[in-house]
Amino acid sequence: MERLQKVIANSGIASRRKAEELILAGKVRVNGEVVLELGTKVSDTAKIEVNGELISKEDKVYYILNKPRGVITSTKDEHDRKTVVDLIEEDKRIYPVGRLDYDTTGLIILTNDGELANRLMHPKNEIDKVYIAKIKGILNPKELMTLKNGVIIDGVKTSRSRVKTRKFDKQTDTSIVEIVIHEGKNHQVKKMFEAVNHEVLKLKRERVAFLDLTGLKSGEYRKLNPKEVATLYGLTANQNKKNK
């Protein structure tokens, strides 16, 4: 017996968080009956419908993509703009883990494994997300410490982060800064720099956990191998138990 939201997530329909929203909205039926209670356990033989469609188990697939600028981090876009899913040749229904802004480039994971997606996105699992930002101005020691200790964005203080200036150009009054965060709030990195009065001119995500963009040009992607997938699960295993 497994929790209903986990079964839905593992089917590739949605992440676990989205699965929970679907259950609470009355969009899920088990053996013909609407289920509204989170944590409901179902058997392997249960007939589960989401939005009237019967779900089925499918093989899991995992990709990393070097997202180009001007591509939407979504499965579809109401304005018919190109999405990250459009860039990957895959018959299975996959979706991005987290998001990168329209004008942000770099590494993003796509999969149909809702369990892993949920683990990677949960801030308590403290998965490193490494960004390189080109900003206006030069960070002084006080601003660096403020960023490291957390800043208030949208009324909430961010968790501690690691920040270092890689280089700066006095002529253009710009800096290249590396920042490592564990959260994934909307426009978080840009808002963090704005909080210390520095505009982000360019932003790229270089790494998630141990995964980087080695060998991948802009727009290119590759499948993760079984060892990489197992390592990602291992990184989140202990924390995931605590969060249940």
- Angstrom distances, CA of residue 229 to CA of 58, 63, 243: 16, 10, 20
- Helices 188-195 and 141-149: crossing angle, nearest 10°? 140
Q: What angle do CA 57, 107, 94 make, to 5 degrees?
A: 20
Is 77 an active-site residue? no
Helix (H) or strand (E) holding 24: helix 16-24
CA distance 58 to 125: 26
Catalytic residue among 86, 101, 128, 212: 101
**Is residue 24 left, alpha or beta, with left meaning phi > 0 and alpha meaning psi from -120 to 50?**
alpha
The CA-atom distances, in angstroms, between 118 and each of 46, 134, 194, 231 are 23, 30, 28, 15
113: left (phi over 0), alpha (psi -120 to 50) or beta: beta
Catalytic residues: 101
